[in-house]
Amino acid sequence: MEHFDPARLKALRKQRKLRVADIAAALEVSVAQVHRLENGERRLTVDMLMQYCKALDLYMCQLFADHREIPITGVINARYEVLPTPPQSVQRIRLPAILPGIERVAALRWEPSGHISGMTGHVLLYYQHDDGLPQRAWGTRCLIVKKGGSQCVGWPVQDQNATHIEIPEGRTQFNVELEWASPILAVLAPSALNILQMPD
């Protein structure tokens, strides 16, 4: 559960006035292991999360009941360029608050067009930031902002002293100057969004 924020477990445990020792006994693990789970220092598996929820006397779906409104900052066209969100379209979606730093998460939406029509309605989640080009962005599908402000979705790659952007279907933009890039966190299908979409 790579993107789940384990601090929610600690908050719910405290809300229910349970001690770490109570959880450790229910999970049949040491107190130190529970501390590591709650601090994100131990990998949280789905099985462990289910056991933790049982110890808290709640259903797993209740853990994800908190939702946040996420802005849709643009639409992706058939050339994988990011354009402004049309005023008549959905401007925000609601998502379960399961990502750490969810207040910085934003979405891009696929524009209905051409060969990517199968992706119509899907959204890509990313972190909004101004940190330039983090090391983890290289070779990863990202929202990319080029010098001059134009945006696209692609994979930034470095070849000696030049930076390129690989676009799906084998197209590459060569010798591009980048302002920043943010790795795509997830792609959500319309079926996952039908109950979450909110009109502006």
Does 120 fall in a domain?
Answer: yes
pLDDT, position 192? 63
Same domain, 73 and 144: yes
Q: Which of 41-45, 102-106, 177-181 has the lowest mean pLDDT?
A: 41-45
80 and 50 in a single domain? The answer is no
> What does the pLDDT average to over 112-131?
73
Q: Are residues 52 and 74 in the same domain?
A: no
**Same domain membership, residue 77 and residue 56:** no
Band (pLDDT 50/70/90 cuts) for residue 165 is very high
- Chain center to CA of 38: 20
Q: Are residues 57 and 156 in the same domain?
A: no
Who has greater pLDDT, 199 or 188?
188
72 shares its domain with 159? yes
Confidence grade of residue 196 (pLDDT, cut at 50, 70, 90): very low
Domain boundary among 17, 40, 63: 63
Quick one: 191 and 93 in the same domain? yes
The Cα–Cα gap between 48 and 28 comes to 11
- The verdict on residue 2 lying in a domain is no
Under 8 Å CB-to-CB from 38, ≥6 apart: which residues?
6, 7, 9, 10, 13, 20
Span 117-133, mean pLDDT? 80
**What mean pLDDT is predicted for residues 11-28?**
90
pLDDT of residue 190: 74
Looking up residue 49, the CATH number of its domain turns out to be 1.10.260.40
DSSP secondary structure of the chain: -TT--THHHHHHHHHTT--HHHHHHHHTS-HHHHHHHHTT-S---HHHHHHHHHHHT--HHHHT--EEEEEEEEEE-TTSEEEPPPTTS--EEEEES-STTGGGEEEEEE---GGGGGGTT-EEEEE-----S-GGGTTS-EEEEETTS-EEEEEEEEETTEEEEEETTTEEE-S--EEEEEEEEEEE-HHHHTTTEE--
Phi, psi of 111 (to 5 degrees): -85, 140
pLDDT digits (tens, 9 = 90+) for 63-82: 666 678 899 999 998 889 99
Please tell me which residue, 167 or 67, carries the higher pLDDT value.
Answer: 167
Is there a single domain that holds both residue 92 and residue 178? yes
Residue 118 belongs to domain with CATH number = 2.10.109
State how far the alpha carbon of 53 is from the alpha carbons of 4, 11, 95, 108, in Å: 14, 12, 20, 32
Residue 128 counted as domain residue: yes
**Same domain assignment for residues 149 and 90:** yes
Q: Which of 63, 81, 100 is the last residue of a domain?
A: 63
CA angle 70, 108, 74 (to 5 degrees): 100
159/144 Cα distance (integer angstroms): 17
Span 174-187, mean pLDDT?
92
Q: Tell whether 96 and 188 lie within a shared domain.
A: yes
Percent of the chain whose pLDDT exceeds 70: 84
Residues 18 and 85 in one domain: no
| Residue 112 pLDDT greater than 80, yes or no | no
Domain that holds residue 95: 67-198
Q: Is pLDDT at 6 greater than 60 in this prediction?
A: yes
Domain assignment present for residue 1? The answer is: no
Q: Which of 63, 87, 104 is the last residue of a domain?
A: 63
Q: Position of tokens 């929202």? A: 143
| Shared domain check, 83 and 165 | yes
Tokens describing residue 43: 């990998």
Q: What is the pLDDT of residue 194?
A: 43
Residue 28 or 3, more confident? 28
Out of 41-50, 62-71, 81-90, 121-130, least confident range: 62-71
What is the domain count for the chain? Answer: 2
Q: Is 23 exposed, middle or buried (0-12, 13-18, 19+ CB in 10 A)?
A: buried
Mean pLDDT of 88-117: 77
